[in-house]
Amino acid sequence: MPDRPRTVAVVLAGGIGVRVGLGIPKQLIKIAGKAIVEHTVEALSASPLVDEIIIMMNAASLSELDHLLSADRFPKLSRILPGGPTRSDTTQLALAAIDGDDTKVLLHDAVRPFIDQRIISDCVQALDRFDAVDTAIASADTIIRIDGDGRIADIPDRSTLRRGQTPQAFRLATIRRAYELASADPDFHATDDCGVVFRYLPEVPIHVVDGTAENMKVTEPIDVHIADKLFQLQSASLALDTRPESLPDLTGKVVVVFGGSYGIGASIVVQAQNAGATVREFSRSTTGTDVTSAKQVRTALRRVADELGRVDVVVVTAGVLKVAPLAETTKRDLRLTIETNLTAPAMICRAAYPHLRSSGGQIILFTSSSYTRGRAGYSTYSATKAGVVNLTQALSEEWAAEGIRINCINPQRTHTPMRTAAFGEEPADTLLDAEDVARVTLNVAASDLTGQIVTVQVAAMRR
């Protein structure tokens, strides 16, 4: 049986990001701790059907991606080349860099980081039967065509309309020939590679595979916020897909838990040990450790590092919840809430930094569903939990180059002594079990996620 044709994925990253309005090329905007183009390359690299990846980068920002040319991180990424002044120019430069008329070529927008493995597989396999393949989704909106006076001239049947996405996939000889013919046309203009084949090689059928709504293009300022939320939802799906009985293998890992004397923290200690980790727990009640004391936190981490030689995962579950209107909250309770729930996580992150940089480790913080909206009765608590989310997202960017990951667990209502003290006894079927939250936390600890807010929901854990 002859060898299968090679598949080369070309990541088109030549844009300058004018519309997104953030002052840098949109493909370099960081979401979930990484530049958008990095997420895209990761998705393509994960496909066993992709043999090689080439990035066509905005020439003025070419050096910004040099760090990706690491054999360890992206062994399939062979080259980062300068793009041209237009999309079609960039495509033609990419085609000139690829050998073999029968090579399968996937042209994909760098700012579509949510491409999934099914789309990649469908495109590559479709090239066994077709020479050109597009990716598209049905239009949920009615499309109108207007005339020169801005009036509706036509309303096409929506059932036959599709919204184009990428990848667009071709046999190399086909897309090269289409561009050769286009180059001879003085009126040539295209923003779409399938459009070039459609116009200049009308005899070549273009097959369409189904895209997904998530395979969006980050183009406008609002798209950045939507993309950030999609990454959060993706990491949340890791939590929802984690069944209560599943534990990762943490053999050889050293896990430090601050606030592990009861509740979720205590469950994490037990489950981490069950997963094979060596665990050290620090809290006021068990070790006399005050998490609001930078000195005591540094001492605790140094003690673990000296004893065990490393620190791989730091989990911070310590927190306080004082329910009272702000005007009636004592100064002591106000200070305690802020120092324990926000200042302490920041100090622990700072103290853990050198240890996690050495191990390439991860820190996991905890927030609450109230971070999305302050609620009467615990306004300061909600404010501190929102601060923890922002701390997580900011540090994921600050620490990305050092290989340190940071994530935040957002459990729904959980049956813990702290919650019972604040709200009294509640129906058991409305609360999460601390052990379920612990298992999700440890699966996040074993993952490559960073900068994510991982939501654990009651309904999902009851399925």
For 169-208, write each residue's pLDDT tens digit: 999 999 999 999 999 999 898 778 999 999 999 999 999 9
For 431-441, write each residue's pLDDT tens digit: 567 788 888 89
pLDDT at 414 over 60: no
pLDDT at 234 over 70: no
Q: Which two tokens stand for residue 340?
A: 């324990």
pLDDT at 20 over 60: no
pLDDT at 320 over 70: yes
Which ranges in 288-433 belong to alpha helices (H)?
294-308, 331-338, 344-359, 379-398, 417-423
Average pLDDT over residues 5-29: 72
Kindly tell me the burial class for residue 184, based on how many C-beta atoms sit within 10 Å of its own C-beta (0-12, 13-18, 19 or more): exposed
The CATH topology of domain 226-461 is Rossmann fold (3.40.50)
* Bigger pLDDT: 181 vs 15: 181
Banded pLDDT at 243 (limits 50, 70, 90): very low
User: Any catalytic annotation for residue 378?
Assistant: no
The pLDDT, as a whole number, for residue 22 is: 44
Sign of the alpha-carbon torsion through 62, 66, 71, 72: negative
pLDDT at 280 over 60: yes
For 375-407, write each residue's pLDDT tens digit: 777 788 889 988 998 899 889 888 988 889 999
3-state SS class at 11: strand
> 28-32, 58-62, 306-310: which has the minimum mean pLDDT?
28-32
CA dist 30 and 125 (Å) reads 32
Catalytic residue among 200, 353, 378, 381: 381
The pLDDT, as a whole number, for residue 67 is: 79
Which residue type, as a one-letter code, is found at position 381?
Answer: Y
Closest CA to 450 of 410, 412, 408: 408
The pLDDT, as a whole number, for residue 203 is: 97
Query: Which residues fall within 8 angstroms of residue 255, CB to CB, at 6 or more apart?
Result: 268, 272, 277, 278, 279, 280, 312, 313, 314, 315, 445
pLDDT at 16 over 60: no
DSSP 8-state symbol, 432: B
pLDDT at 244 over 50: no
The pLDDT, as a whole number, for residue 71 is: 59
Kindly tell me the burial class for residue 178, based on how many C-beta atoms sit within 10 Å of its own C-beta (0-12, 13-18, 19 or more): buried
Average pLDDT over residues 96-123: 94
pLDDT at 457 over 90: no
- Region for 193 from its dihedrals, namely left if φ exceeds 0, alpha if ψ lies in -120 to 50, beta otherwise: alpha
The pLDDT, as a whole number, for residue 307 is: 97
> 163-172, 343-352, 412-421: which has the minimum mean pLDDT?
412-421
CA dist 370 and 394 (Å) reads 20
pLDDT at 33 over 90: no
Average pLDDT over residues 418-426: 52
Average pLDDT over residues 30-40: 80
Domain parsing of the chain, residue ranges: 7-219, 226-461
Residue in this structure with the two tokens 């008329």, named with its chain if needed: 101
Q: Which two tokens stand for residue 156?
A: 């096409």
- From 3.40.50.360, 2.60.40.1180, 3.90.550.10, 3.40.50.300, which CATH number describes the 7-219 domain? 3.90.550.10
For 367-382, write each residue's pLDDT tens digit: 887 777 777 777 888 8
Q: Which two tokens stand for residue 123?
A: 């495109």
Arithmetic mean of pLDDT over the chain? 85
The pLDDT, as a whole number, for residue 30 is: 73
Four-CA torsion 336, 341, 343, 345, nearest 10 degrees: 140
Same fold, 7-219 and 226-461: no
The pLDDT, as a whole number, for residue 331 is: 93
Which residue type, as a one-letter code, is found at position 366?
Answer: F
Give the pTM. Answer: 0.63
The pLDDT, as a whole number, for residue 196 is: 96
Which residue type, as a one-letter code, is found at position 197?
Answer: V
Sign of the alpha-carbon torsion through 126, 127, 129, 131: positive
Closest CA to 411 of 386, 433, 442, 384: 433
